[in-house]
C-alpha cells in the first residue's frame, strides 16, 4: 500500500484497533484470547502503557489499517531493556508492505529509546508472521511446545528476538512520551 503513513496511536484509535484484533480472536488461533477485548479495554491499555512504550498505527486515508506496540517483557528491573512486541493488520492486508512498515517504525522507536531486545511470540503454524519477523531482523530463540489450547487443539508458540543494541552496559531506557517531535518524525518515517 503506497499511501500508508505511521503515527502515534491515540485513544480515538481504540475502536479501529478493537475491530482489527477481533478478527484474529474470533477466526484464528493467532491470538489466545477467547473473546475480543472491548474498545474500553484497548483505550485503557493505550492510556496505561502508551506513555512508556511505543503504540503505533498505520493509517491509509485516515483509516487505521494496522497497529503495533511494545510492552514490558517481564516486571523485574533487570528486564527494563527488553520488550515484547505485538503487530496486527486488517485482514487481507498481509504481504502488502504494511507489516514491514509498522515494524520498521516500532523498531526504530525502540532503538531510539535505548531498548536492547525486542521479543515476539508467534502461534504456530503462521509462516507469514514468521517470515515478516525474520525479514525485519528477528531470529528464533525457542518454542513453547503445546503451551495453549484453542479451537480444539494444543498450540505451540515460537519466540523470536531482535537484538536492537550492543550488550555493553546500557544507559537507562527512555519513555516513549519523552521523545521529541523530531525523533518521532524520524522514527515513524519510511527508511
Residue 54 has a pLDDT of: 96
E-only strand ranges, the chain: 5-8, 55-60, 63-72, 82-89, 117-123, 139-150, 153-163
How does pLDDT run across 96-123, given as a tens digit for each residue? 789 999 999 999 999 999 999 999 999 9
Q: Rounded distance, CA 79 to CA 137, Å?
A: 20
Residue 49 has a pLDDT of: 76
Task: Please give the average per-residue pLDDT across 161-190, as a whole number.
Answer: 93
Q: Rounded distance, CA 29 to CA 86, Å?
A: 15
Task: Please give the average per-residue pLDDT across 58-76, as a whole number.
Answer: 94
How does pLDDT run across 25-35, given as a tens digit for each residue? 999 999 999 99
Residue 45 has a pLDDT of: 87
Joined grid coordinates for residue 119: 521479543
Joined grid coordinates for residue 128: 507469514
Which run of H or E residues covers position 54?
Answer: none
Task: Please give the average per-residue pLDDT across 134-152, as a whole number.
Answer: 97
Considering the segment(s) 5-176 as one domain, its CATH architecture is 3-Layer(aba) Sandwich (3.40)
- pLDDT at residue 138 tops 80: yes
**Of the candidates 5, 33, 7, which has an alpha carbon nearest to the alpha carbon of residue 18?**
33
Q: Rounded distance, CA 83 to CA 117, Å?
A: 6
| pTM score, whole prediction | 0.93
Amino acid at each position: 500500500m503506497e499511501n500508508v503513513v505511521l503515527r502515534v496511536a491515540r485513544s480515538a484509535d481504540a475502536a479501529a484497533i478493537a475491530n482489527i484484533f477481533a478478527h484474529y480472536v474470533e477466526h484464528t488461533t493467532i491470538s489466545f484470547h477467547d473473546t475480543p477485548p472491548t474498545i474500553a479495554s484497548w483505550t485503557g491499555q493505550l492510556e496505561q502503557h502508551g506513555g512508556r512504550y511505543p503504540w503505533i498505527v498505520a493509517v491509509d486515508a485516515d483509516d487505521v489499517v494496522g497497529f503495533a506496540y511494545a510492552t514490558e517483557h517481564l516486571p523485574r528491573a533487570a528486564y527494563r531493556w527488553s520488550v515484547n512486541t505485538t503487530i496486527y493488520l486488517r485482514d487481507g492486508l498481509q504481504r502488502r508492505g504494511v507489516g514491514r512498515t509498522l515494524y520498521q517504525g516500532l523498531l526504530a522507536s525502540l532503538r531510539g529509546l535505548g531498548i536492547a531486545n525486542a521479543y515476539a511470540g508467534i502461534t504456530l503454524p503462521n509462516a507469514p508472521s514468521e517470515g515478516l519477523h525474520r525479514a525485519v531482523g528477528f531470529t528464533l530463540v525457542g518454542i513453547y511446545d503445546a503451551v495453549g489450547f484453542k479451537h480444539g487443539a494444543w498450540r505451540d508458540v515460537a519466540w523470536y528476538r531482535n537484538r536492537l543494541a550492543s550488550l555493553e552496559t546500557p544507559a537507562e531506557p527512555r519513555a516513549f512520551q519523552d521523545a521529541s517531535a523530531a525523533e518521532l518524525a524520524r522514527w515513524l518515517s519510511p527508511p
